[in-house]
Amino acid sequence: MPKNLEGYLYDLEKKILIQEIWEQGEGYELLTNASSLYQGQAIFKRLKKHADERTQELCESMRIDDKQITKVVNLVRFILNKRQGLLKDQKIDQIIVCSIASILSINRSRNFSLGEIFEHYNRLLYSLNISKSIFYQGGREIDLIDYYNHVFLNQVEEIISN
Per-residue pLDDT tens digits for 22-32: 666 677 777 77
Does residue 58 lie in a domain region? yes
Q: Report the percentage of the chain scoring pLDDT > 70.
A: 83
Please report the pLDDT score of residue 35 as a whole number.
63
Examine residue 83 and state whether it is found in any structural domain, yes or no. Answer: yes
73 belongs to a structural domain: yes
Mean pLDDT value of segment 132-143: 65
What mean pLDDT comes out for the span 5-15? 83
Mean pLDDT, all residues of the chain = 81
112 falls within a domain: yes
Can you give the pLDDT at residue 93?
84
How many domains does the chain fold into? 1
Q: Is residue 7 part of a domain?
A: no
pLDDT tens digit string along 93-124?
888 989 999 998 887 666 788 778 888 888 88
pLDDT above 70 for 135? no
Determine, yes or no, domain membership for 42. no
Q: For 83-96, write each residue's pLDDT tens digit.
A: 888 887 777 888 89
CB 161 within 8 A of CB 103: no
Query: Which residues constitute the domain of residue 148?
Result: 49-160
Strand partners, 134: 143
The domain that holds 53 is classified in CATH as 1.10.472.10
pLDDT of 141: 74
